[in-house]
Structure 1
Amino acid sequence: MIARGLTGSCLVFVGGLIVSPLPDTARLLHLDVFTVVRETMPGRMFGLALVLAGLGLLATAWLTLCRQVAGTQATGRDAALGTVRRAALVWSAPLMVAPPLFSRDGWSYAAQGMLTTLGVSPYDHGPAALRGPIVNAVDPRWMDTPTPYGPLPLILGDLAARLTSDPWVLVVFHRCIAVTGLVLLAWAIPRLARWTGVNPALSTGIVIASPLMMANGIGGLHNDLLMVGLMAAALVVAAEGSWQWAAVLGGAAAAVKLPGGLICIAVALVSLPLAATMVKRVRRLAAVGAISLGTLFGMGAAWGLGAGWVAALAVPGSVNTPLSAPTVLGGALDQVAELLGAGTGDAFFLDLVRALATVASGVVVLGIALGWRTGDRVGALHATVVMMSALLLLSPVVHLWYFLWLVPFLAPVRLDRLGTTLLMALSIIAGVVAPLDSSLHGAYLLIVLGSIHAAVLIAILLFTRRSRDRLERIARAEWLLAR
């Protein structure tokens, strides 16, 4: 099982070297054979096939792992948890030194750290202010845009860029930062699961060893992994330790990406006594907010970065993603209006629906802050699930890796058999289709062929009788043990 997953990770690594953008300094580009493979359609299709085959092996190994730990009795759960953590460590090892897979965001992180080192604010200038290999693999779409991220990844990127200017080395450093989030999840998820009485080994396995995590969290190298790790740690610390330190962790999560700050609401709720009065609720929310905002803005001030990320928050919304419900709905309404000759403009309904969805998500968050039950650990976990679900459903921009915001808090919840099955199916699909993102940079035939390949692979993993039986056994075992 662990060996199968390791083989899959190695295939993803090798295939990723073929399909992923690389800087000019990459020594592999000086190998004629390697260059020919990367620059021909058959060669790139071969690389994509390796990646998808590797993700398939990872998915089957993960299902076997989950089935193995799902039926573990209470006395053997510590050993099962160790097996899960070991599997995640081994499977992620080959991906640690890979270039950013399925997205070019990692190259942007390296460039933004270099800008900070040179005293150029990434909140005022995009990577285009730099020259040389550091920007060779940055997505052209983001070359002239400031970063919407908080100060924490910029500070860490600055420290790394003071030691080296090699883009690939900087990428490995940023992946180590992301893996810090994985370590925090490996620590926090079992504790969250014990609150709800579900199997901590299975909950942890669903989160830290899934195809979603391997493809998008580790391989894709996104700041979202560090953000959600800090969020989970904040919730645990609030319930089992100090709400003040939990507020600091919540501020640090927001200092990665602003949605991470929503965990501060759950921190306030869980740290209050049962049935707290509205006055106590508002005071605690204000206190947690003050500490978290002090952490967020204090980092920027201490490093001389300021709060320029506020003005750059609209940058992600400049793209339309098919996973965003408001974007799809607004775009469809604009097309209908154009067919009817309504004269409403190119993006009238798109902007309107996005704005209404943003307001609706704010209403959900405010309602939870002022109306959700207090002093209840499970209730605080459920509140976090509702907030992150609303954010994913109503956000104007949703990428595959945004599901990392939700799964770590949904996995420890006591779900029924259908819910567990759907959660695992989501984790497989979001991982297997990851290669069909921007890493293919314009190879449309490759995207079509890869989509067919991925569809076949998903069908094999989810819709064959053997796979259905495997998922059913996992869900049934968890459901029976949770009763």
Structure 2
Amino acid sequence: MLTASSLPNRVSRSLPTVRLAGRPIMVGGVPRWLGFAGAVMLALGGTTAGALPYQQAADRAGMVGVGLVVAYAGLALLVVAWWRLGAENPAARSMQITLGLWAAPLVVAPPLFSRDVYSYLAQGRMFAQGMDVYLYGPSSLGGPLAAEVPGIWQHTPAPYGPLFLAVAAVVTTLTGTHVIAGVFGMRLVAVAGVALMAFAVPVLARRLGVSPGAALWLGVLNPLVLTHLVAGAHNDALMLGLLGAGLAVMVSRRPGAVWPMLGVALVTLAALVKAPAALALPFCALLWAQRAQRTPAERERWPIMAFLRTAPLTVLVAAAAAIVVHALAGTGVGWILALDTPTVVHNWMSMSTTAGALTAQLLDAIGSGVAHHAVPFWRGVGLAAAVGCGLLVWVRARVLGPVYAVGLGLLAVVLLGPVVHPWYLLWGVLLVAAGAPHAVDSPVRRWVALGSSLLAVLVVPTGGPTSAVDVAVGLTGGAVVLVAAGAVLLWWLPRREPAVERAESFYRKPRVPAETAA
């Protein structure tokens, strides 16, 4: 007799098994294929409701509402499948295959949730033509690439490092002024960054005593990675890939000074894509110092003397890498002066900017003449608080572990910074996923996962102004699918006990089982 309890097993046996070299590596299951269906729907919805080139968007304006319903329904399926897959906690290899499966439809989709990729193309073209992107905006370029850049960014300099601009210049040299080909080229760069993330996270997790599968689930299979790094083609993917790879090299067991030097160089390259990665450099010096600590007893002590040796070495390696990249790119350090470009936007997700805007309204209401100072004041308070959090995690790095500390520090920078976009959360999530203790049941992990799910639906797929009616219809359709899919999965699939993969921690003392502790 077929019962509710036997149904999942019957379904599991009826679904395909993916094999590699004749060996099963991923058993098909409802959450995995539900997520794939969600990604396909999101990609299809993007054909009318994505961040399309302006002419295409105008031609398909009448179908935006339909596209939003399909896109939000797909996003809902993706989020539900992600949560259910996390409850199963499969092996790291299975997570990597699932990542490829879910990302595939989005690789060939139109840009989604942001028009930043068009700015990348215009700035890359300017860079390739020898124009100073740190002084002039895309309006100085003109032509089809600049025409796709939103008006707010037409006259602003690029806030990105020379490494990223050199990569964007290569893409535009290969694709010319062909917008769609250029978008696909930038997406391949983003996919390469995500692939680096998928390689680095399990390496970090195993070395730090965390479940590789759980780390990949939270840090790389995260809906924000799929929607914003893959579908949105954000350059944060390249930054995070290099950052994760650099830290993975730093915690490796390979002897010799060449490996920590390589790790510092990779982290520096990440900072030359986007500046926030530079926060990890002091912690690289600490990881380098900890490599000399071979026994658990030594790891309990703060490696002060070793750190005094590795800190200047870290500075020298980072400086050398930065000088080489700047010399090859032919740029100065003007990009550092342009780092405030994103603050042109007053974005409500930033706590400091929102506090400033509310204060300004209050001051205006009482007739004060200093209302225009409110936003800069609160942004300054937020940055000061972020610096304080950075110092705190540095002091606590011996207890937290350097990698986890960097992740928490980056989360503080995002949450307290003057501008917050959903994909910014990934700066810290990647390293929290790889370094946070208690891989499955950590409150930090649960809150990060919940925040990722909520932020995934806060940005409209069009990446710009959209009719309130269209958005309401799309969200309603997505909510209906979310509730239905969640109910089906909760009833259909029993919760499994997580099969946690663990490894010896690089910086935390291994736990001793209770029965052997005596």
TM-score by structure 1 length?
Answer: 0.86
Query: What residue number does 1:305 align with?
Result: 331
1:88 paired to 2:108: no
Give 1:110's match in structure 2, choosing from 95, 108, 121. Answer: 121
Q: SS where residue 256 of structure 1 aligns?
A: coil
Superposed displacement of residue 367, structure 1: 4.8
1:322 paired to 2:352: no
Give 2:420's match in structure 1, choosing from 398, 417, 431. Answer: 398
Residue-by-residue CA offset, 1:338-394 (whole Å, 9 max, x unaligned): 223333232x1211111122123223334544x3455x8x61122112211211221
Residue-by-residue CA offset, 1:152-196 (whole Å, 9 max, x unaligned): 111111112222211211111111111122111111211222234
Counterpart of 1:63, as a letter, is: W
- CA, structure 1 residues 453+118, in 2 after alignment: closer, same or farther (shift >3 Å)? same
Q: For the Cα contact (< 8 Å) 1:146–1:312, is it kept in 2? A: yes
Q: For the Cα contact (< 8 Å) 1:48–1:450, is it kept in 2? A: yes
Residue-by-residue CA offset, 1:46-65 (whole Å, 9 max, x unaligned): 01111111112222332333
1:23 paired to 2:53: yes
C-alpha separation between the residues in 1 aligned to 2:491 and 2:208?
26
Counterpart of 1:124, as a letter, is: L
Query: What residue number does 2:19 align with?
Result: none
- CA, structure 1 residues 224+6, in 2 after alignment: closer, same or farther (shift >3 Å)? same
Unaligned runs of 5+ in 2: 1-29, 291-298, 504-510, 512-518
Q: For the Cα contact (< 8 Å) 2:163–2:329, is it kept in 1? A: no
Counterpart of 1:432, as a letter, is: V
Counterpart of 2:315, as a letter, is: G
Q: For the Cα contact (< 8 Å) 2:51–2:114, is it kept in 1? A: no
Counterpart of 1:129, as a letter, is: S
Query: What residue number does 2:167 align with?
Result: 156
Superposed displacement of residue 315, structure 1: 0.4
C-alpha separation between the residues in 2 aligned to 1:222 and 1:468?
37
Superposed displacement of residue 202, structure 1: 2.3
Superposed displacement of residue 467, structure 1: 5.1
- CA, structure 1 residues 220+271, in 2 after alignment: closer, same or farther (shift >3 Å)? same
Query: What residue number does 2:409 align with?
Result: 387
- CA, structure 1 residues 279+81, in 2 after alignment: closer, same or farther (shift >3 Å)? closer
Superposed displacement of residue 150, structure 1: 0.4
1:249-398 matched pairs, under 5 angstroms:
249-273=266-290, 274=299, 275-276=301-302, 278=304, 280-346=306-372, 348-369=373-394, 371-373=395-397, 379-398=401-420
Deviates more, 1:335-344 or 1:320-329: 335-344
Task: Kindly indicate which of the two structures has a greater share of residues assigned to helix.
Answer: 1
Give 2:437's match in structure 1, choosing from 414, 428, 433. Answer: 414
Deviates more, 1:9-18 or 1:190-199: 190-199
C-alpha separation between the residues in 2 aligned to 1:426 and 1:247?
30
Counterpart of 2:471, as a letter, is: I
Counterpart of 1:121, as a letter, is: D
C-alpha separation between the residues in 2 aligned to 1:461 and 1:263?
40
Give 1:247's match in structure 2, choosing from 246, 250, 264. Answer: 264
Query: What residue number does 1:189 align with?
Result: 201
Superposed displacement of residue 456, structure 1: 5.6
Residue-by-residue CA offset, 1:45-84 (whole Å, 9 max, x unaligned): 101111111112222332333233x2x5xxxxxxx22221
- CA, structure 1 residues 449+289, in 2 after alignment: closer, same or farther (shift >3 Å)? farther
Give 2:138's match in structure 1, choosing from 116, 127, 130. Answer: 127
C-alpha separation between the residues in 1 aligned to 2:358 and 2:491?
35
C-alpha separation between the residues in 2 aligned to 1:196 and 1:281?
20
- CA, structure 1 residues 478+465, in 2 after alignment: closer, same or farther (shift >3 Å)? farther
Superposed displacement of residue 132, structure 1: 2.6
Superposed displacement of residue 443, structure 1: 2.6
C-alpha separation between the residues in 2 aligned to 1:355 and 1:148?
19
C-alpha separation between the residues in 1 aligned to 2:267 and 2:236?
14
Give 1:441's match in structure 2, choosing from 449, 465, 483. Answer: 465
Q: For the Cα contact (< 8 Å) 1:272–1:281, is it kept in 2? A: yes
Residue-by-residue CA offset, 1:294-339 (whole Å, 9 max, x unaligned): 3234312212122221121110111111111111122222222222
Query: What residue number does 1:214 align with?
Result: 226
Counterpart of 2:270, as a letter, is: A
Deviates more, 1:175-184 or 1:249-258: 175-184
Superposed displacement of residue 422, structure 1: 2.8
C-alpha separation between the residues in 2 aligned to 1:467 and 1:421?
18
Superposed displacement of residue 145, structure 1: 0.9
The structure having more radius of gyration, on CA atoms, is: 2
Q: For the Cα contact (< 8 Å) 1:107–1:137, is it kept in 2? A: yes
Query: What residue number does 2:36 align with?
Result: 6
Superposed displacement of residue 280, structure 1: 4.5
1:46-65 matched pairs, under 5 angstroms:
46-65=66-85
C-alpha separation between the residues in 2 aligned to 1:176 and 1:121?
25
Q: For the Cα contact (< 8 Å) 2:40–2:74, is it kept in 1? A: yes
Q: What percentage of aligned pairs have identical amino acids?
A: 30
C-alpha separation between the residues in 1 aligned to 2:368 and 2:499?
53
Residue-by-residue CA offset, 1:246-285 (whole Å, 9 max, x unaligned): 1101110101100011111221111114545656535533
Q: For the Cα contact (< 8 Å) 1:65–1:84, is it kept in 2? A: no
Superposed displacement of residue 126, structure 1: 1.3
C-alpha separation between the residues in 1 aligned to 2:250 and 2:34?
38
Q: SS where residue 156 of structure 2 aligns?
A: coil
Superposed displacement of residue 106, structure 1: 0.6
- CA, structure 1 residues 366+469, in 2 after alignment: closer, same or farther (shift >3 Å)? farther
C-alpha separation between the residues in 1 aligned to 2:484 and 2:333?
48
Counterpart of 1:228, as a letter, is: L
Counterpart of 2:286, as a letter, is: L
Counterpart of 1:402, as a letter, is: Y
Q: SS where residue 371 of structure 2 aligns?
A: coil
Residue-by-residue CA offset, 1:408-447 (whole Å, 9 max, x unaligned): 11223224354443333223222233336x6242433333
Size of the alignment, in residue pairs? 456
Query: What residue number does 1:75 align with?
Result: none
Counterpart of 1:355, as a letter, is: G
- CA, structure 1 residues 154+259, in 2 after alignment: closer, same or farther (shift >3 Å)? same
Q: For the Cα contact (< 8 Å) 1:217–1:404, is it kept in 2? A: no
Q: For the Cα contact (< 8 Å) 2:196–2:242, is it kept in 1? A: yes
Query: What residue number does 2:245 align with?
Result: 233
C-alpha separation between the residues in 2 aligned to 1:344 and 1:398?
25
Deviates more, 1:45-54 or 1:158-167: 158-167
Q: SS where residue 406 of structure 1 aligns?
A: helix
1:147 paired to 2:158: yes
Q: SS where residue 175 of structure 2 aligns?
A: coil
Q: SS where residue 229 of structure 2 aligns?
A: helix
Q: Root-mean-square deviation (CA), in Å? A: 2.9
Q: For the Cα contact (< 8 Å) 1:216–1:434, is it kept in 2? A: no
Counterpart of 2:190, as a letter, is: A
Give 2:217's match in structure 1, choosing from 191, 205, 213. Answer: 205
